[in-house]
Amino acid sequence: MTTATPAPRPGRPRTITRERIADAGMAMGLPKLTFVGVAALLGVSHMALYKHVANLAALKLLVAEAIFTRWQLPDTGNDDLEHFLLRFSASLRELVKSHQGLAPYLIRRKVTTPAMLARIAAHQAEVARLYGMSMERARWLLSTVAFHCIALADTVYAAGDDAWEEEDAEIEAEFDLGMRALIIGALAMEPHSKGGT
């Protein structure tokens, strides 16, 4: 007995996909994200969008996850650990600077998706393997650098305006110096517990 395959339905092709929703949400930016705005960018009604995303919190999470999973992590193993962590910090800073409102989704575990957590764990394992350290040490180093970098970048770039454009070079130099000090200090520490202290 054979089962008939349903024929494709006539009409226009499906216009709402997770990828297209994420693209529209990224175009709007997390702070300005609305159902009506994303629906308009997709060319559908906001009620049609609700069939794919339950609420505004879920929409923001979908967009945040897409931003994070599309982020190109810096290559590992091409230089010493200190320089890799400096590149990692600079890359995170640009990610937060480019995507206002992303920081809470990167720092708070309650709003971090399983896909994001899996990517973080895989990156930590890669760093541990390439730099010959324990997974606990890699996790602590990367988490320490990431937490401070994301929090600082969120504070520095929160205004999202160009009013302080002439201060950019000075602020970013201070940012880099502060992150370098943190990284040198973290590398000198031996974490004695899960918390790293």
SS (H, E, C) 61-97: HHHHHHHHHHCCCCCCCCCCHHHHHHHHHHHHHHHHH
Q: pLDDT at position 64, please?
A: 97
On whether both 110 and 151 belong to a single domain, the answer is yes
> Distances from the Cα of 14 to the Cαs of 22, 42, 43, 172, in angstroms?
15, 11, 11, 44
On whether both 87 and 174 belong to a single domain, the answer is yes
Residue 147 lies in a domain: yes
Asked if the model's pLDDT at residue 2 lies above 70, the reply is: no
Separation of alpha carbons 1 and 115, rounded Å: 40
Q: pLDDT at position 4, please?
A: 54
On whether both 94 and 145 belong to a single domain, the answer is yes
pLDDT per position as a tens digit, 16-34: 899 999 999 999 999 999 9
Domain C-terminal end among 67, 97, 127: 67
Give the CATH number for residue 53.
1.10.10
Separation of alpha carbons 125 and 135, rounded Å: 6
Separation of alpha carbons 111 and 81, rounded Å: 29
Q: pLDDT at position 156, please?
A: 87
Q: How many domains does the chain have?
A: 2
Which parts of the chain are beta strand (E)? none
On whether both 81 and 49 belong to a single domain, the answer is no
Residue 147, token pair as written in the block:
């937490």
On whether both 123 and 51 belong to a single domain, the answer is no
Amino acid letter at 29? Answer: G
Q: Note down the domain range covering 46.
A: 18-67
Closest CA to 149 of 58, 78, 88: 88
pLDDT per position as a tens digit, 33-89: 999 999 999 999 989 899 999 999 999 999 999 999 999 999 887 899 999 999 999
Q: pLDDT at position 159, please?
A: 66
More reliable by pLDDT, 171 or 136: 136
Separation of alpha carbons 127 and 113, rounded Å: 21
On whether both 138 and 178 belong to a single domain, the answer is yes
